[in-house]
Structure 1
Amino acid sequence: MWLRPNRSLSRRGLRRLCAALAAVTVAIATLGARAGNVYAPLFALVESAAVAYALSLAWHAGDRSERITIDARSLQVECLPGHRRATFQSYWVRVRMRQAGNRQRLVLTSHGGEVEVGAFLGEEERADAMQRLRRLLAQYTAPQRK
């Protein structure tokens, strides 16, 4: 199971958005310069660079993902990038939502250890992930009928 943030903008789209915002900002700054504000173009360039940088940081935050692997013996959570891993015995894992301030946290717990998954997801996506995890775990933890 892969958990990834919802990203609706491609790298090309991000470049186009930054270029369009810079063009509008420079056009308005040019009008301001003609009206007598000689510092407007300089401010527009600085602002355009800062906005492009902030948008690229937000876009790169979407590179995060978590891979959850479940089998009869274990549940493993691998966080990318960073390659942080957590492994639990699948029979003992409990999937819970915990209140943390004004948001819900999706937490996997087992034998005193816990790991939060899907922190980058929205509330509805996190609730869906919880239901999917519970269904997947039930396949391995339910008594087998013969």
Structure 2
Amino acid sequence: MIYGHISQPNACRYPAAIESALKFLRTTDFSKLAPGVVEIEGRTIYAQVLDLTTRPREALRPEVHRRYLDIQFLSSGEEQIGVAIDTGNNKISEDLLEQRDIIFYHDCENESFIEMIPGSYAIFFPQDVHRPACNKHRETPIRKIVVKVAVSAID
């Protein structure tokens, strides 16, 4: 996992596909976009613009992806995201890997929570379990953008 804020320059170069996704996040006015999918580089890199309400962490399931990285960017509001390494010991709640590139777990081992504020992003790799859209203090409307980057595009 990589955690940062969009206003800060990258301390080192990321793979070109991640750089492309971060450039999209830096240069797009998300207040002018309707919720939905935005193609950046076809289905290799695309964004989902989401308007959600955070929920108690117990009401949300941890998840992993295998074919895409998730770059979760908070445009407005506040949230916490749970994160843990996928140890292989987590009990699967729902396996939608073939249909939607997602596996939901009932819970996960050794989970920590990161604080997301507007402009912050977290990059989750296939080995990173994450539980997005958790309440920070209370249920809060948020606008977040999830950029999907195909693992095959990482050089």
Fold similarity call, TM over 0.5: no
- Which of structures 1 and 2 has the larger relative contact order (alpha carbons within 8 angstroms, sep 6+)? 2
Relative to its length, the structure with more strand (as a share) is 2
Q: Which has more radius of gyration?
A: 1
Relative to its length, the structure with more helix (as a share) is 1
**TM-score (normalizing by structure 1):** 0.24
